[in-house]
Structure 1
Amino acid sequence: MLFFIGQVFPYIAAGIFILGMIWRVGTWLKAPLPFPLTLLPAPITSSDRVRRICGELLLFPSIWRSDRGLWLWAWLMHVTLAMVLGGHIVGISSVGLQFTELGFTAEQSLALSALMGTSSGVILLAALIVLLYRRTAIPEVKRLSDPADYFDLLLILAIVVSGLHMRMTSLDVDLLAIRAYLGGILSFHPIPIPHQWIFVSHFFLVNVLLMYFPFSKLVHFVGSMVNQSILAAPPPVYPTPHKANNPNLLPSARLWKGGNAQ
C-alpha cells in the first residue's frame, strides 16, 4: 500500500491533473461568443486590461460590492492558501533556511519559517470553518449549495488539519527525508515514502485534491482568468463588418445581421 501511495499514485494524480486542466481550459476557449461581452468602461490599452484582470483576481471587488462578510473570509482563504503553497515550495526546498539569504541566522530562519507557516495555516483553517458555517447557517447560501460544495471544503479542511498536526504537535517530521522523497518524485526516480503516518495521510489527501481539482468547482480560479480576459477585452468598434455566415454567431444573431431570410 505504501508503495502505491508513495511511488505510483503521485504520477497518476499528476497525469489526471494535467490532462484534466488541458481539457477544461480547452473547452472554455472553444466555446463560441455570440457577441462581445466587454464590461464598460472598457480598458483601452493592454496594461489597462492586465490591471483590471489582476485587480479582480487579487482583490475580488465584485464580491466586495455584493457581500463584504463573504469577501473577507474568501479573500483570507485564498491569500493564506497561496502563502501556504508558496511556503511549501520554498520551505521544503531550502529546509526552512530560506531567510538566511536575508541575513538571518539558521535558527532565526527556522523559527520565522515555522511562525509564518503556522500562522498562515491557522488563518486558512479559520477561514475554511467560517465558509463552511456560512453554507449551513445562511438559508439562501444553504439552498444554493450542493454536496460538491461541502466536499470541496471538507477535503481542503482535512489537508489543512493534517498539515497543522505536523507543525503543532510533538511528532518529529523529518524535513530532509521529505525533501529527498519529493526530489525523487520530481526527478522520476522515486524512493520509498517516509514512514510517518501523518505525512503519508497529508500527502495522500493532496494527491486526491490534485486529481479531483480539474473536474471540481475549485477550478474557478483558472476559469476566472479566462472569464476576466473576455470581460476586459477591447470594446467592439461599430458598425461591425457584415458576417452573415459567421459560425460563432447564434442562429438568431445571424438572421438579425443578415436581414430577411431568403
Structure 2
Amino acid sequence: MISAQEARDRVQQVLADWTASSGQEYGTGEPTDAGDFWIIGFQSRAFLETGNASAALTGNGPFAVSKTDGNVMQLSPIRSQQEQLEELRSPRTGRGSMTETETETETETETETEAQNSRRLLEQWAHDNGMFLPITGEHVVYGWADMELGIELRRDGGRWTVVFSERGRDELIGRFDSRADADMLVLMRLAGPFAVKRVLEKQKSTSARRLVDAQSGDWTIVEGPSGQSEFWRHNDAERFAGLVAANTAELSAALLRFA
C-alpha cells in the first residue's frame, strides 16, 4: 500500500522531470485521501512562495496516485474528479477480484491484445494524418509526432513512461508499472482531442455532405485539432469512434495532452 508521503514523492519526481525540461519549478499540496487514490495538487513554486497571482498556474488538474501500485496520472481540470477516478478504477476491477493465477493471466493477456489492436489502429491513423514514428533514443518503444506535437511511450528503469511534447518541450504525463496501463494513457491522450462525427450531422457543411453522399454513404469525417477534415472508410471510422468512446469512458481523457 502506497503511503501519502510515498505518493507525494512520486508526484514530486514527475514534477522534477518537468522542471528539468522546462525550467519551471513546482511545489505540491498535501495529499487528499480519495479511497484507493491519493489526490495531490501542484502549483508553481513562485506562486507558493510569493502569492503573486501572475505566477499562478491555471488549467492544470491534480495528480491521482494509486495506493495499490503507485501509478501516477494527471487528471483533467475540465472533468469531474470523481468521474475520472471511477474510470481509472474500471480497468482494475476485473484484475483485482481474481484469485486464480490462470484466470488473472488470461485477463492480462486479453488486455494486452486489446492494447495491441488499439496501437495498430492509432498507427494507421497517425500515418494517414502525416505523422511519423520518431526515433529519439534507445528507450523509446513507440511514438507519433508532427511538426508541433508528439507523444511517446518509453521504457525507463523498469517502468513505462508516457511523454508528451509540444514544440520541442517534453512533459512526462504518466509513469506505470504496467505496459497495458501506459498504452491506455497513450491511447486516451491521442483520442481525446479528436472528434469522430457522422457526416450527416447538422453542423457539417453541405459540400461535405454531398461528398459523402457521392460515395454512397461509405465515408465519415474525422476532425483533428488543426480543424482539417480527413475522410475514412466507414468501418475504420466506426472502429476509431468506438476506440475513442470506450477509452474516454473507461480510462478518461488521458492518452493525450495532444491538444
Higher helix share: 1
**TM-score of the superposition, structure 1-length normalised?**
0.26
Bigger RCO (CA 8 Å, 6+ sep): 1
- TM-score relative to the length of structure 2: 0.26
